[in-house]
């Protein structure tokens, strides 16, 4: 009996969670492929990319614009802080035009600066997708981006520098050896 009650509660929770978002998205005449994106343990200095798919379900073409928005504190997930800079997130392309019934992908790029102070942080930012129209009302959907940084900063690879220094030392050593042997030869 308890299992049936738990199952009924789970089904009700899922319906309350997902049904309004599907209905709202259908009324707005466009759909975004995902409502939440999680990026975990991203080391500062490293870049993460993902794609969003935009579907134009309307009967007319629309221009879609992509922006970031800082959610109010009461709407952020527990333990998440506001993303310090919008410049860390970029869209490619920043705007697209979709014909009726078509879809396209937008690449979202997240690049946290390579600084120790950005390690072990949890941030939330919303990605806004706006369907521009000739009406006074512009429709906007949001994708929640939850971002956690790793404990270490991504270091640059110095393999080329090390290989160059080792090669230089070997060449100088060989050159010095042959020069000293040449000087030591009797004439």
pLDDT (tens digit, 9 = 90+) per residue, 101-111?
A: 899 999 999 99
Could you confirm whether domain 31-172 is CATH 2.60.40.10? Answer: yes
Query: What is residue 30's predicted lDDT score, i.e. its pLDDT?
Result: 53
Q: Are 73 and 124 in contact (CB under 8 A)?
A: no
For residue 56, CA distances in Å to 30, 98, 99, 114 come to: 5, 6, 7, 38
Query: What is residue 17's predicted lDDT score, i.e. its pLDDT?
Result: 45
Q: How much of the chain is helix, strand and coil, in % rounded to 5? A: 35, 35, 30
| Domain map (residue ranges) of the chain | 31-172
Q: Peptide bond before 42: cis, by omega within 30 degrees of 0?
A: no
Running DSSP on this structure, what letter comes out for residue 75?
A: G
Distance CA 89, CA 39 (A): 13
Q: Are 155 and 163 in contact (CB under 8 A)?
A: no
Query: What is residue 85's predicted lDDT score, i.e. its pLDDT?
Result: 92
Distance CA 174, CA 102 (A): 66
pLDDT under 50: residue ranges of the chain: 4, 7-8, 10, 12-28
Distance CA 38, CA 138 (A): 27
Which residue, 128, 148, 152, 150, is CA-closest to 140?
128
Query: What is residue 186's predicted lDDT score, i.e. its pLDDT?
Result: 67
Distance CA 154, CA 35 (A): 29
Query: What is residue 34's predicted lDDT score, i.e. its pLDDT?
Result: 67
pTM for this structure? 0.64
Distance CA 69, CA 109 (A): 15
């Amino acid at each position: 009996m308890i299992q049936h009650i738990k199952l009924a509660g789970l089904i009700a929770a899922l319906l309350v969670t997902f049904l309004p978002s599907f209905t709202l998205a259908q009324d707005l005449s466009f759909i975004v492929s995902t409502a939440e994106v999680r990026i975990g343990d991203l080391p500062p200095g490293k870049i993460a990319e993902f794609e969003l798919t935009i579907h134009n379900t309307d009967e007319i073409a629309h221009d879609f614009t992509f922006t970031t928005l800082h959610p109010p504190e009461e709407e952020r997930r527990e333990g998440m802080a506001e993303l310090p800079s919008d410049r860390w997130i970029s869209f490619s392309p920043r705007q697209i035009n979709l014909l009726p019934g078509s879809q396209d992908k937008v690449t979202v790029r997240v690049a946290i600066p390579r600084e120790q102070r950005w390690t072990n942080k949890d941030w939330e930012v919303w990605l806004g997708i706006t369907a521009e129209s000739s009406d006074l009302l512009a429709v906007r959907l949001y994708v929640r981006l939850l971002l956690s940084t790793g404990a270490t900063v991504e270091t640059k690879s110095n393999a080329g520098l090390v290989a160059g220094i080792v090669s230089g030392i070997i060449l100088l050593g060989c050159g010095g050896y042959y020069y000293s042997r040449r000087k030591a030869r009797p004439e």
